[in-house]
C-alpha cells in the first residue's frame, strides 16, 4: 500500500481499481467488525470517550512502523501539518466525539439506522462537489445498500424508533467522517496513504483528547477506566488493528473506488459480526444474511459498466 492517493471519485474507477478497492473496503470492514465484541467487553470498565481517545492516538502510533518500512517516516516532521489538521484532524476528532456522545444519548434503533446513512451522505457530498451525477443506477444502488444496512442492523425493531437528541450528533459524526475521507484523499496527494492515515489519526486523537479532557475537568463528563492486562490488550487490538490497520485499508479503498462505494461496505458490518458470532458457536440470523445480499446488490449495480441516464 505504498500508493499515493488519487482524487476521489470516478476518475480512479478502472477495473483493477474496482477489484482492489472493493477488496480493501471489505477487508477494512472485517477488521472493524472485530472491534465490536472487544468494545462490548471493554466498555464494562472503561468510559466510551476514553476508548475513543485510545482508538485514535494508539491507532495512529501503531502505523508509524509501517511508515518507517515504506521510507516515509520523515513525513512526521515535513508533512503539511496545518492542512492535515484542517482536512483530517479536526473532522476526524469531531466525528469521533460526536459518534460516542451521540450513541450515549440516542435511541439504539434510531442510532443503528443513522449509522447506515453513510452512502447517501457521501454521495450528496460528491454531487455538491461536482464529482457525481444523480442517476438511476446510483439512486437504486444506494437505496439497496441503505435498505440492507437498516434491515441487518435493527433486527425488525422498527417499532422502537425514537428521538432522544443524540441522533443529531450521529448525523454530524457520519457527515464529518464522509467529509474527512473525501478531503484527505483529495487534498493530501503529496503523502502516502499510510502517512495520511497515521498522521490524521494522531492529529485527530490529540484534538479529541483536548476536547474530552476539558469536558472532564469542567464536570461535563466523568471519565473512568480500569487498566487490567486483558482490557489493555483489548484496547491495543481495537486501536492498532481494528482502527489503525482498518483505517489504512479504508483510505486505500477510498483512493480507488471513492467514498460512496466504500461506504456501501460499511453496511456489511452487521453480517461480518454475525459470521464471527457463528464461528464462536452463535446462530445464523437470516435477517442479516438478506441485508448483506441487498448491500452486495447495491455494490454490484453501482459499478456495473452500463450506460447511465441522468435523472431530471
Within 8 A by CB and 6+ apart from 10, the residues are 131, 132, 258
Mean pLDDT of 178-203: 91
pLDDT in tens, 42-88: 888 999 999 999 999 999 999 999 999 989 889 889 889 888 889 88
- Mean pLDDT, the chain, as a whole number? 83
pLDDT band at 107 (very low <50, low <70, confident <90, very high): low
Cα-Cα end-to-end distance for the chain: 40
The conformation of residue 156, written as its DSSP 8-state character, comes to T
Q: Do 295 and 143 form a contact (C-beta atoms < 8 A)? A: no
Mean pLDDT of 143-151: 81
Residue 192 phi/psi, 5-degree rounding, is -75, 160
Mean pLDDT of 192-214: 93
Between residues 211 and 129, the one the model is more confident about: 211
Residue 45 phi/psi, 5-degree rounding, is -130, -5
Percent of the chain at pLDDT > 90 equals 34
Q: What is the pLDDT of residue 310?
A: 54
pLDDT band at 311 (very low <50, low <70, confident <90, very high): low
pTM, 2 dp: 0.84
Mean pLDDT of 289-312: 72
Amino acid at each position: 500500500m505504498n500508493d499515493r492517493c488519487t482524487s476521489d471519485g470516478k476518475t480512479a474507477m478502472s477495473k483493477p481499481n474496482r477489484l482492489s478497492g472493493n477488496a480493501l473496503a471489505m477487508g477494512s470492514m472485517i477488521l472493524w467488525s472485530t472491534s465490536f465484541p472487544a468494545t462490548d467487553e471493554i466498555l464494562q470498565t472503561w468510559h466510551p470517550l476514553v476508548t475513543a481517545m485510545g482508538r485514535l492516538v494508539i491507532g495512529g502510533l501503531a502505523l508509524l512502523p509501517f511508515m518507517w518500512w515504506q521510507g516515509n517516516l520523515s513525513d512526521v516532521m515535513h508533512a503539511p501539518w496545518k492542512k492535515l489538521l484542517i482536512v483530517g484532524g479536526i473532522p476526524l476528532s469531531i466525528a469521533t466525539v460526536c459518534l460516542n456522545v451521540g450513541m450515549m444519548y440516542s435511541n439504539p434503533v434510531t442510532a443503528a439506522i443513522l449509522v447506515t446513512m453513510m452512502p447517501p451522505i457521501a454521495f450528496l457530498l460528491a454531487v455538491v462537489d461536482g464529482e457525481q451525477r444523480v442517476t438511476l443506477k446510483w439512486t437504486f444502488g444506494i437505496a439497496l445498500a441503505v435498505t440492507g444496512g437498516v434491515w441487518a442492523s435493527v433486527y425488525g425493531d422498527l417499532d422502537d424508533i425514537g428521538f432522544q437528541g443524540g441522533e443529531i450528533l450521529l448525523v454530524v459524526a457520519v457527515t464529518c467522517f464522509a467529509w474527512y475521507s473525501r478531503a484527505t484523499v483529495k487534498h493530501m496527494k503529496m503523502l502516502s496513504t499510510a502517512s495520511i492515515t497515521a498522521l490524521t489519526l494522531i492529529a485527530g486523537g490529540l484534538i479529541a483528547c483536548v476536547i474530552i479532557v476539558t469536558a472532564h475537568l469542567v464536570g461535563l463528563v466523568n471519565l473512568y477506566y480500569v487498566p487490567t492486562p486483558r482490557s489493555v490488550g483489548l484496547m491495543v487490538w481495537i486501536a492498532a488493528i481494528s482502527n489503525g490497520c482498518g483505517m489504512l485499508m479504508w483510505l486505500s479503498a477510498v483512493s480507488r473506488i471513492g467514498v460512496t462505494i466504500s461506504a456501501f461496505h460499511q453496511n456489511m458490518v452487521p453480517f461480518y459480526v454475525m459470521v464471527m458470532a457463528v464461528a464462536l458457536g452463535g446462530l445464523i440470523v437470516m435477517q442479516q444474511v438478506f441485508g448483506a445480499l441487498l448491500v452486495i446488490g447495491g455494490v454490484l449495480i453501482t459499478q456495473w459498466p452500463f450506460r447511465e441516464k441522468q435523472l431530471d
